[in-house]
Structure 1
Amino acid sequence: MERRLWIIGLALAGAICLGGIWAWQRARHYERLFHLVRLDPLGLTTFGSEPVTTAQIVLFGDSRAAAWLAPAGYSIANRGIPGHTSTQARLRYRWHVSSLKPKLVIVQVGVNDLTALAVFGHEEENIIHTTIANLSAIVNEARSDGSRVILTTIFGLGPNAFERLDPATAQIQAAIEQVNQAIRAMAAPDVVIFDSAAILADESGYVAEQYRDDILHINAAGYRVLNEALGNLLAAQLRS
């Protein structure tokens, strides 16, 4: 009996230590993002060392865009910055994208606006409205540059059972779908909607377990399934 209590105690101590390490790492991550925003609010220095040139295709947005490798056979200039909201993306577009004179711009941004509902739930209507307005402004700026747009829906969250108990999780997920309805309505002859949310979702609307990395990000398998569809879409767009 005493030995069993020792084992249980050691297991609990190990779990507490691992939880503490995880919490510390997350705190450091958000602290880093906080200071980056203070030092360079629009991330204008992020790609400063790269020579200014042209690119046929640009992938633009937040961390989900930053981690998205190009489908096989395509060269894509990645202009994703982790932590960025749609407001930051809209304000930096002409520095990071317009100068590249792309034929196609793939846009994946907005989830960081909506996760703010965990803290600013009472601002839901304003946050959703601002996100939609910023996405529309990005699309219009791309079109005014002569670029065609592949506008992706915002794929959902990938929460574990514990995170699903948080009321904010369902609120954020519902806000994502509300913004996605507006995104789908932005379709036009030069604006193609790429429904990444539908590709990755399980029957509940959340990101399917096999594609989850954490609550906000997807793993390599998730990007592979997106690229299977994206590759075909790029081929069709570049032929036209």
Structure 2
Amino acid sequence: MNKLLFIAFVLFFAVDAHAQDWANIKRYEDDNSKVPAPAKGEKRVVYMGDSITDFWIKSDSEFFAGKPYYNRGISGQTTGQMLVRFREDVISLKPKVVVILAGINDVAQNNGPSKLEDVFGNIASMAELARANHIKVVISSILPANAFPWRPAINPVAGIKAINDMLKAYAAKNGFTYLDYFTAMANDKSGLSPNLAKDGVHPTLEGYRIMEPMVEKAIAEALVSRN
């Protein structure tokens, strides 16, 4: 087999594999099978998200250590992909709380252009699936970003603000806990400063250290909420 044919062969099967598991349900399939039933009184939390969640446990493993926290972030994912895998990666684990942090990759058009209302709708659908399964919900704002290194032609500021406004209003109307990372972390250009995210999108350890007490406060609020 010549070199060009071999490359084409590899690319074909890589694309075919992605098409067969668009939502990457296989990523956590084995891990999920090993998760035990919740212990009595356990306040299990699943973190559902994209690379910002995925990289969190790698950047600050101590935050997750010894806690009933399950990280189910997958780098690059859009809200549609998360919605497809929500049952396997959240509901099946029987948490008390799910923390949803999503939307930045939709704004970046990782899977092509998306209507902002559809991005919001995917997050709302995850929240409603959780509620139907007696799981408390924390809806996180999209983090600040004023540019994407991998999509330099896109200015994300207006899209992020619009989705965050929809999420905040939706959470208030439906009794979900809203976690406003944006206000706490945005600089005067509606982005993340280099100390919080070297590439302007993915938090540094310092960035995650700002997020950690905020998310734990939100989880505590969700646990005592009526919804």
TM-score normalised by the chain length of structure 1: 0.73
Instruction: Tell me what 1:87 maps to.
Output: 80
2:143 aligned with 1:155, yes or no? yes
Cα distance change on mapping 1:222 and 1:158 into 2, 3 Å: farther
Give the one of 83, 96, 119 matched to 2:89.
96
- Check conservation: 2:83, 2:123, Cα contact below 8 A: yes
Are positions 1:177 and 2:161 aligned together? yes
Q: What one-letter code is carried by the residue in structure 2 that aligns with 1:227?
A: E
Give the fraction of aligned pairs with identical amino acids, expressed as a percent.
25
The aligned length equals 197
Q: Return the letter of the residue paired with 2:168.
A: R
Q: Tell me: CA distance 1:238–1:43, structure 2 relative to 1, closer, same or farther (3 Å).
A: same
**Equivalent AA in structure 1 for residue 166 of structure 2:** A
Equivalent position of 2:181 in the other structure: 196
Equivalent position amino acid for 1:106 in 2: V
Residue 221 in structure 1 maps to residue 193 in structure 2 = no
Structure 1 stretches (4+) deviating beyond 4 angstroms?
33-36
SS at match of 1:209: coil
Post-superposition Cα deviations, 1:114-136, rounded to whole Å, max 9, x if no partner, equal: 1018x96xx5xx52121011011
Compared with structure 1, are the counterparts of its residues 156 and 34 closer, same or farther at alpha carbon in structure 2 (3 Å cutoff)? farther
Superposition RMSD on alpha carbons, in Å? Answer: 2.6
In structure 2, give the amino acid aligned to 1:174.
Answer: A
Flag the 1:140–1:239 CA change in 2: closer, same or farther, 3 A. closer
Counting only pairs closer than 5 Å after superposition, residues 96-175 of structure 1 correspond to structure 2 as: 96-116=89-109, 123=113, 126-157=114-145, 159=147, 168=154, 170=155, 172-175=156-159
User: Partner of 2:183: helix, strand, or coil?
Assistant: helix
Deviation at 1:191, TM superposition (A): 1.0
Write out per-residue CA displacement over residues 82-105 of structure 1, whole angstroms, 9 at most, x where no aligned residue.
111100101110111111111100
Shift of 1:40: 2.2
1:58 pairs, out of 21, 30, 46, with 46
The aligned residue for residue 216 of structure 2 is 231
For the pair shown, which has the larger CA radius of gyration, 1 or 2?
A: 1
Q: Equivalents in 1 of 2:26, 2:83: separation in Å?
A: 16
The whole-number CA distance in structure 2 between the counterparts of 1:105 and 1:59 is 6
CA distance in 2, matches of 1:179, 1:186: 10
Which letter does structure 2 place at the counterpart of 1:43? N
SS of residue in 2 equivalent to 1:64: helix
Checking the alignment, whether the CA contact within 8 Å between 2:98 and 2:135 is kept in structure 1 is yes
Considering fraction of residues, name the structure with more helix.
1
